[in-house]
Amino acid sequence: MMRTVRLEMARCREFPEGSSTHGYELHLPLTPAGKLDRDFWLKHRQGGEFRRFWGEEEERGQLRHGRKGWALSFEPHREDDRDEMIFKGDEHRFLVGEYVSIAERDGVTRTFRIAALT
């Protein structure tokens, strides 16, 4: 089933207390155990959208699964280095309080805390 997952920046050098104004809101196909469900996604790709919020800036895109794994694509019709990769996306459990790393377009891998799941 599709669930909404809110990721917020975890504590890091740039944000020593973390940040609730820097992160992602993802619509993900999750199993009851909280893992990404590729079979469900294959049938409901259009529902796999996301929003990246970075202070006052906001961008939107589509969740993708390709040869490199799960990615956040700002240009869903092109698979390239501009996709942001969810580190070990096939292994993560998306549950409140867990952490997820995303290799972002600027080449930096940042860690986010799962703040909410609806």
Are 80 and 92 contacting, i.e. CB atoms less than 8 angstroms apart? no
- Residue-level pLDDT at 81: 61
- Residue-level pLDDT at 73: 92
**Which tokens belong to 45?**
């790709």
Q: pLDDT at residue 76 above 90?
A: no
**Which tokens belong to 52?**
């990246």
**Which tokens belong to 85?**
């990769």
Percent over 90 (pLDDT), the chain: 76
DSSP 40-96: HHHH-GGG-EEEEEETTEEEEEEEEEETTEEEEESSTT--STTSEEETTTTT----T
| Residue 74 to residue 18: CA distance in whole angstroms | 24
Q: pLDDT at residue 79 above 80?
A: no
- Residue-level pLDDT at 118: 94
**Which tokens belong to 95?**
């549950």
pLDDT digits (tens, 9 = 90+) for 16-74: 999 999 999 999 999 999 999 999 999 988 888 999 999 999 999 999 988 889 999 98
Q: pLDDT at residue 90 above 90?
A: no
| Residue 4 to residue 75: CA distance in whole angstroms | 21
| Residue 59 to residue 52: CA distance in whole angstroms | 5
